[in-house]
Amino acid sequence: MTSRREFLARAAECGLSVATASLLYGCVTKRSPPPPGERAVSAAGPLEGELRIFNWSDYMGPETIARFERETGVRVSYDTYESNEEMVAKLVAGGGEYDIVCPTAYLVPVLAEGGLLAPIDHAVLTHWGNLLPYFIDGNSVRGGRYAMPYQWGTTGIAYRSDLVDAPPTSWGVFADTSLGGKMTMQDDGREVLGAMLMWRGRSLNSTDPAELTAARTDAIVVKPNLRAYLSAPVKAQLISGDVVLAQMWSMDTRQAQLEEPRVTYVIPEEGGELFFDCLAVPRSAPNRRAAHAFLNFVLRPDVAADIAESSGAGPTNGAAIRLMEHPVHPPDAALLARLEIQRDLGPATDLWDRLWTEVKAG
């Protein structure tokens, strides 16, 4: 049995070391990223090692990974996440070592500036030309220096044509009390406030406090009409008819339509949101060669078509569209005029979050 003095001494030691460690750590800034991947990406010779992919769930073809493994002999480990922020949190904290991640386009400039992404070596991407120019020229991706466009989608309104009297034409439908208790909006501050902003004819990327406060008030007014805030899981309820009208992503709608053809999708008159996700290589990626091989693999029309068919999203790969059973064409000019691309909010993120908290608490 330890004597009192011994115990105190040991406790003091423990405490001191804890304190010092935390102080020391406190002084250290964000850990600087490790030196860039070893082997040059365009080196010759067979691929080796492991490829670690971190992607959205349900965002890959059922056979894609297996095919890649067979053709290249590289072993793939595949993990998924549900939101950009979960992925960013892991990248920022410096733990996970992934070779490929899938950020939504608006995050790419922020991540690149934060030094978290490695530049993409286009010399190895022989199929790059398959990509639709629209997605490459977009500001967010800056010519594809740090990210490769992957799939796109929109946010609009999905509804049951058999259970709703008149098809909705405006984001204001959420204020319609006759549908009270049978509507949902997404559980995402940007989507909800964004929809309210668009309803009033404003930009969904607004950082103006007055506009945002008005949007918050709208959201609070609309809230009692909502059954719940649901994102992807609302699919099942739309199919069963518990919910008749929902703010939904195009890919989820498409998947719901497979089971219930009476689900209809519409982009309101005031506009909708366009977003696209990209594949990127983190700066700390251990196997950049394999990462690039995978990027090139995904650029193949047949592979891209497979992926798009199963995810329900739109392919950014022009050559793939022809190969799809149910082709998804990029938005035409008329539709594009009504769609707005989501952008990062920068310092205004804080204000948005506070307003969203107020909506939820209200």
Partner 1 sequence: MLPAALWLACFFAIPLAIMASYALRPRHILGGVYPGWTTASIARLFEPLYLEILQRTVILSLVATFLALTVSYPMALVIARAGRWRTVLLFLVVLPFWTSFLVRTYATIFLLRDTGLVNQFLLALGLVQEPVQLLYTPGAVLFGLVTGYVPFMVLPIYGSLEKLDPALLEAAEVLGARGWRRFWRVTWPLTLPGVLAGSLLVFIPSLGSFLTSDLLGGAKVMLIGNLIQNQFTSARNWPFGSALSFLLMGFVLIGMLLRALGARREESR
Partner 2 sequence: MKRRLLPAIALLGYLALHLPLLMLVLWSFNVSRSGARWDGFSLIWYQRLLEREDLLLALRTSLVVGLTATMLATILGTLAALAIARGRLRRAALLESSLSLPIVTPEVVAGISLLVLFGAIGMPLGYLTLIIAHTAFCLPFTILVVLARLRGMDTSLEEAALMLGADEVTAFRRVTVPLLLPGILGAALLAFTLSFDDFVITFFTAGPGTSTLPLLVYGMVRRTVEPTVNALSTLLVVATTVLLLFAQRWIAPARNVG
Work out how close the CB of 103 gets to partner 2 at its nearest, in angstroms, rounded to a whole number. Answer: 17
Work out how close the CB of 84 gets to partner 2 at its nearest, in angstroms, rounded to a whole number. Answer: 14
Question: Is residue 18 exposed (0-12), middle (13-18) or buried (19+ Cβ within 10 Å)?
Answer: exposed
Work out how close the CB of 199 gets to partner 1 at its nearest, in angstroms, rounded to a whole number. Answer: 20
Cβ 230 vs Cβ 246: under 8 Å: yes
Q: Which two tokens stand for residue 145?
A: 């220096």
The partner in contact with residue 322, picked from partner 2, partner 1, none with C-beta cut-offs of 5 to 8 angstroms by kind, is: none
Cβ 272 vs Cβ 339: under 8 Å: yes
Cβ 291 vs Cβ 100: under 8 Å: yes
Which residue of 57, 241, 302, 337 would you call a contact of partner 1, by CB under 8 A?
A: 241
Give yes or no for residue 228 binding partner 1 (CB under 8 A): yes
Which residue of 58, 97, 121, 188 would you call a contact of partner 1, by CB under 8 A?
A: 188
Spatial CB neighbours of 216, under 8 Å, sequence gap ≥ 6: 193, 196, 355, 356, 358, 359
Question: Is residue 133 exposed (0-12), middle (13-18) or buried (19+ Cβ within 10 Å)?
Answer: exposed
Closest CA to 41 of 112, 153, 122, 105: 122
Give yes or no for residue 195 binding partner 1 (CB under 8 A): no
The partner in contact with residue 13, picked from partner 2, partner 1, none with C-beta cut-offs of 5 to 8 angstroms by kind, is: none
Binding site for partner 2 (CB under 8 A): 1-2, 4, 7-8, 11, 25, 28, 31, 50, 52, 54, 57-58, 77-82, 86, 89-90, 93-98, 231-233, 235-236, 239-240, 252, 255, 259
Which residue of 3, 4, 27, 325 would you call a contact of partner 1, by CB under 8 A?
A: 27
Count of residues that interact with partner 1, criterion CB under 8 A: 50
Q: Which two tokens stand for residue 325?
A: 């059973």
| C-alpha separations of 252 from 248, 265, 272 in Å | 7, 10, 16
Q: What angle do CA 69, 72, 74 make, to 5 degrees?
A: 60
- Choose between 19 and 123: whose C-beta lies nearer to partner 1: 19
Cβ 336 vs Cβ 267: under 8 Å: no
Single-letter amino acid code for the residue at 240: S
Spatial CB neighbours of 88, under 8 Å, sequence gap ≥ 6: 103, 107, 111
Give yes or no for residue 137 binding partner 1 (CB under 8 A): no
The partner in contact with residue 170, picked from partner 1, partner 2, none with C-beta cut-offs of 5 to 8 angstroms by kind, is: none
Which residue of 65, 100, 116, 158 would you call a contact of partner 1, by CB under 8 A?
A: 116
Which residue of 38, 48, 85, 302 would you call a contact of partner 1, by CB under 8 A?
A: 85
Site for partner 1 in 288-347 (CB under 8 A): 346-347
Which residue of 67, 142, 200, 223 would you call a contact of partner 1, by CB under 8 A?
A: 223
Cβ 285 vs Cβ 118: under 8 Å: yes
Give yes or no for residue 35 binding partner 1 (CB under 8 A): no
Site residues, partner 1 (CB under 8 A): 10, 14, 18-19, 21-22, 25-27, 29-30, 83, 85-86, 88-89, 92-93, 110-111, 114, 116, 181, 184, 187-190, 223, 226-230, 233, 237, 240-242, 346-347, 349-350, 353-354, 356-358, 360-361
